């Protein structure tokens, strides 16, 4: 059974006045044939954010370019979290958001934090003028009903925006070469529309998540005195979530890869508040339950690696992470080195996952060999095989109990092995 699912994002380029790509707008798409967003609510925005950072990787999507995501009211007023720091992602205030005092205060706070804000579909009507003092970009709809390509009307809005010196103007919905010429003569800095390029659908595959693990983690993180071992245990029981936490380390550091050797270390680097934000957003974004029977196989491999490693005096949590990443790579059907390259791994962990080298690599090779042998494959290293049958049974009991228990408990050796 396939425990992965395709995920899609629309990506439309913004161009500078030399015709070079200056950035991208990321758009919700719910299927491979979707040419337009079918919904524009908070769930759609959450899915775009989660998938962009944790399924694709923001660098893979946009390279070193700026990108924009559309935000609904819930994000602007703080009802839903933004789990990434200011920097690579511009926040686009959607046209349908009513600008009341609460929204204005939220926008001001985001600007104060260093986020770059874009006002979408600006026509100069209504209360959206109140956003201009906080905006870095204003997108003017060149064919809006009020404007319809009228040079004088558009020039008047341009003049109003230019009272705020930091604003960069984006000509939006540039559908014809005549509109492109008009936007250039009015000295817009950026251009977006079908005359330049249409949105492009990009697709990848990711593990299907389990809501149960997400709920457990949120329960752990909501406690007044967060027990880090219990939170890490909740993450380790859900391979999809564990991979997203590892990818989140890069998201939290503005694309600067920070090598880690275990889920515990990744959580420490991210910090409990950001892990809580990611988990909250994933609950909104993950609209389908995962296939727990298949995902259990990945957790079993990880657990067997941990048990064997600890028996050999090798770090258990790091071995768990090695086994987990290896199993996820098998589930996704891609090469191990391609997957490892997308994660902030230490050299030791990467060598173990990709080439099965070093002590950790020997552990992984033995566990994978044993799994192949039980499925009719080659025999693993006899020196490491001893005890793996019992390890398999113990790992199965542990994984099944983890999925059944309302409150996950850390592994018996967690306190001893995670202290470093």
Is the pLDDT reported for residue 419 higher than 50?
Answer: no
Using the Cα atoms of residue 293, residue 341, residue 30 and residue 202 in order, give the sign of their dihedral: negative
Is the pLDDT reported for residue 37 higher than 50?
Answer: no
CATH: 3.30.110.40, 3.40.640.10, 3.20.20.450, 1.10.3720.10. Which one for 4-203?
3.20.20.450
> What is the reported pLDDT for 103?
94
Helix (H, G, I), strand (E, B) or coil at 117: strand
> What is the reported pLDDT for 87?
82
Nearest to 403 by CA among 228, 229, 235, 212: 212
User: Are 252 and 84 a contacting pair, CB within 8 Å?
Assistant: yes
> What residues pair up with 202 in beta bridges, in sequence order?
9
Helix (H, G, I), strand (E, B) or coil at 333: coil
Nearest to 87 by CA among 118, 117, 115: 115
Residue pLDDT, tens place only, 47-86: 787 777 777 778 778 888 889 998 888 889 887 778 788 8
Question: Which range (89-93, 204-208, 271-275, 316-320) has the least confidence?
Answer: 204-208
Residue pLDDT, tens place only, 385-412: 556 777 777 777 665 554 444 443 344 4
Question: Which range (91-105, 164-178, 215-229, 359-373) has the least confidence?
Answer: 215-229
Query: 199 or 256: whose pLDDT is higher?
Result: 199
> What is the reported pLDDT for 289?
42
Residue 78 dihedral angles phi and psi, to the nearest 5°:
90, 10
Is the pLDDT reported for residue 382 higher than 60?
Answer: no
Q: Are strands 4-15 and 21-28 parallel, antiparallel or unpaired?
A: antiparallel
Residue pLDDT, tens place only, 125-140: 778 899 999 999 999 9
Residue 270 CA to residue 248 CA, distance in Å, equals 7
Q: What mean pLDDT do residues 83-112 have?
A: 90
Residue 43's Cβ-side half-sphere holds a number of Cα atoms within 13 Å equal to 9
Which residue intervals of the chain bear CATH 3.20.20.450? 4-203
Which residue intervals of the chain bear CATH 1.10.3210? 208-417
- Domain spanning 208-417, CATH architecture: Orthogonal Bundle (1.10)
Question: Which range (9-18, 35-44, 117-126, 202-211) has the least confidence?
Answer: 35-44
> What is the reported pLDDT for 145?
63
Residue 69's Cβ-side half-sphere holds a number of Cα atoms within 13 Å equal to 31
Work out the mean pLDDT of the chain and round it to a whole number: 77
Question: Which range (196-205, 274-283, 322-331, 411-420) has the least confidence?
Answer: 411-420
DSSP-derived letter for residue 37 is -
């Amino acid at each position: 059974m396939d425990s992965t699912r395709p995920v899609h994002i629309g990506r439309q380029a913004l161009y500078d006045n030399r015709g070079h790509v200056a950035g991208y707008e990321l758009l919700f798409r719910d299927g491979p044939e979707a040419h337009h967003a079918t919904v524009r609510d908070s769930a759609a925005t959450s899915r775009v954010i989660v998938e962009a950072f944790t399924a694709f990787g923001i660098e893979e999507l946009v390279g070193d370019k700026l990108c924009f995501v559309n935000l609904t009211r819930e994000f602007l007023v703080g009802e839903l979290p933004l789990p990434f720091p200011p920097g690579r992602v511009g926040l686009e205030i959607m046209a349908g958001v009513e600008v009341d005092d609460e929204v204005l205060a939220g926008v001001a706070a985001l600007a104060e934090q260093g986020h770059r804000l874009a006002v979408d579909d600006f026509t100069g009507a209504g209360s959206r003028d109140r956003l201009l003092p906080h905006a870095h970009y204003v997108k003017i709809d060149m064919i809006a009903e009020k404007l319809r390509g009228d040079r004088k009307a558009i020039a008047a809005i341009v003049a109003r925006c230019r009272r705020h010196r930091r604003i960069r103007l984006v000509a939006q919905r540039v559908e014809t070469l005549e509109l492109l010429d008009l936007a250039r003569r009015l000295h817009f800095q950026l251009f977006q529309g079908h005359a330049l390029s249409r949105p492009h659908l990009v697709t990848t595959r990711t593990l299907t998540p389990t809501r149960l693990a997400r709920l457990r983690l949120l329960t752990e993180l909501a406690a007044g005195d967060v027990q880090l071992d219990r939170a890490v245990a909740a993450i380790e029981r859900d391979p999809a979530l564990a991979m997203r936490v590892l990818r989140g380390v890069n998201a939290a550091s503005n694309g600067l890869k920070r090598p880690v050797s275990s889920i515990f270390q990744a959580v420490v680097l991210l910090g409990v508040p950001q892990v809580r934000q990611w988990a909250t957003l994933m609950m909104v974004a993950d609209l389908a339950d995962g296939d727990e029977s298949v995902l259990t196989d990945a957790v079993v491999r990880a657990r067997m690696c941990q048990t064997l490693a600890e028996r050999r005096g090798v770090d258990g949590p790091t071995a768990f992470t090695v086994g987990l990443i290896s199993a996820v790579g098998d589930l996704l059907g891609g090469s191990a080195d391609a997957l490892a390259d997308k994660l902030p791994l230490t050299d030791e962990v990467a060598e173990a996952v990709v080439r099965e080298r070093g002590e950790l690599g020997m552990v992984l090779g033995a566990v994978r060999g044993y799994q192949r042998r039980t499925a009719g494959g080659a025999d693993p290293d006899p020196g490491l095989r001893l005890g793996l049958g019992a390890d398999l049974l113990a790992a199965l009991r542990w994984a099944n109990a983890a999925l059944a228990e309302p409150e996950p408990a850390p592994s018996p050796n967690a306190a001893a092995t995670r202290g470093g």
